[in-house]
Chains A and B, each alone.
Chain A
């Protein structure tokens, strides 16, 4: 297990360990887990997962079934560069934000649960969460990431995830601008 690193490095069944004096440049670390940039060159050995968060409820698999009224928005945040310092939630597509509660004993590189209490008026919402880690890194929007990394850079998408909550409580995975 390699906390904070991409899942591809978490080898489940170790058959042998060999130590080399050079990079092996195996297929997974060349053809696959490299990040193609807009100039046609690629980053390699990009192991750390930057700060990310996602709302787990409501979400497409967890629609709101109880109608308008008190609502707890909850989700998970994590960072490969340390502890989660803060998670903000927006229910208006990112125009205004409020700080969520972090629960438990927040550990570096560990999943951190957050909760945000509100009253839902039963109207549509565009909800998203934004993690900030102890280094001060703020989880970016997809557009901000694309501006740097282009559109063919897939392994380290740590952008904010937007859910579109409908008046009937169903939730859809969308992008906004």
Chain B
């Protein structure tokens, strides 16, 4: 059954790829190979369509999860820092702060298999095997209290599992429940009973990204302003900016290369999910990285390093440019067992740039 569906699908994909190119004789493309189609066609549907042969048990799943997922999601899938929580939250959906997890919110187990197999670990998608995916899925059922620890999940028993919130969803009903209510003639005058009061300020929620000058990110430059027209703010601002530039230049010494540092700042976006820098930087998933260039490894205050990283530091390893470059090229290979779950920077240029950027940050 699922075989024939796959076949039908395969030919559909095939004709999509093949038809335009060959029909019009542009000489572009080629028909997809059956192996390619199998590799692409990873979708698993609620009725079990698309499930590959295989199985895995809770205990194996726990091991794989500890190795490949726990750095972000926690040993018990409870979610570390701001990474997603995968377990718990039962009965919380009507709370002010509901915890939406596989156990409390997700309607179908197929989604767990599909997503883990297709998209996780974050940044290293499709490195989890089919049996590992069954095992992880079994472990996630276990950590949500839905199966016992001796449970084995397989293609055969997969659709016997029903998640608790399967009936918690209904199709969009706004047309019936909202549109009539919001389609009355708009009020034009005397619409309020009392003068309006400010009840919430986004500034206090601290959710608006800022530029270095403290203004909302992307604020338009004051194109019309001259010192004569508005003597207040702009005059006060100008010397502050110059001062900042001088300080930065001091810190960088003679090696400062603004273009390289700017390029490094861009590369750093790949790190920013796990590392904070700049004023008030905190430890999050990874340690904060102010002053990292030249620092002894594993010594940022208050950060819980892996054993190998702490030991490397105790052994005297210093993050000079060469060590950093080697670590960033291959985080796992450079220091086996360290917990930076990051594929690394393939390009030497990117490594040089990001190290220049980190160097310019100072302590």
Q: Which residues of chain A have a CB within 8 Å of any CB of chain B?
A: 15-20, 22-27, 30-31, 34, 36, 38-48, 50, 60-63, 65-66, 86, 88, 92-98, 126, 130, 132, 135-140, 144, 148, 151-152, 164, 172-177
Whether B197 pairs with A172 at a CB distance below 8 angstroms is no
Residues of B within 8 A of A172 (CB): 201-203
Partner of B114, one of A26, A46, A175: A26
Whether A61 pairs with B184 at a CB distance below 8 angstroms is no
Whether A140 pairs with B182 at a CB distance below 8 angstroms is yes
Render B200-212 as a binary contact track against A, CB cut-off 8 A, 1 for contact: 1111000010000
Residues of B within 8 A of A152 (CB): 96-98
Residues of B within 8 A of A136 (CB): 183
Residues of A within 8 A of B108 (CB): 25, 30
A-B contact pairs, 18 of them (CB 8 A): A17-B12, A26-B114, A26-B115, A41-B93, A44-B169, A47-B172, A50-B174, A61-B217, A61-B218, A97-B189, A97-B191, A126-B198, A138-B182, A148-B181, A152-B96, A172-B201, A173-B201, A177-B196
Interface residues of B in 261-281 (CB under 8 A from A): none
Q: Which residues of chain B have a CB within 8 Å of any CB of chain A?
A: 9, 12-13, 16, 40-41, 43, 45-47, 49, 93-94, 96-98, 100, 105-108, 110-111, 114-115, 119, 168-174, 177-179, 181-192, 195-203, 208, 216-220, 222, 224-225, 230
Whether B45 pairs with A63 at a CB distance below 8 angstroms is no
Main secondary structure of the interface of B (DSSP, over half): loop
Whether A176 pairs with B198 at a CB distance below 8 angstroms is yes
Chain A proximity of B135: nearest CB distance (Å): 19
Whether A27 pairs with B119 at a CB distance below 8 angstroms is yes
Partner of A41, one of B106, B119, B168, B179: B168
Residues of B within 8 A of A96 (CB): 188-191
CA distance A45 to B107 in the complex (A): 14
Residues of B within 8 A of A92 (CB): 196
**Given known A25-B111, A61-B220, contact A36–B93 (CB-CB < 8 A):** yes
Residues of A within 8 A of B190 (CB): 95-96
Whether B225 pairs with A65 at a CB distance below 8 angstroms is yes
CA distance A43 to B178 in the complex (A): 13
Partner of B186, one of A24, A138, A164: A138
Residues of A within 8 A of B40 (CB): 15-16
Whether A39 pairs with B201 at a CB distance below 8 angstroms is no
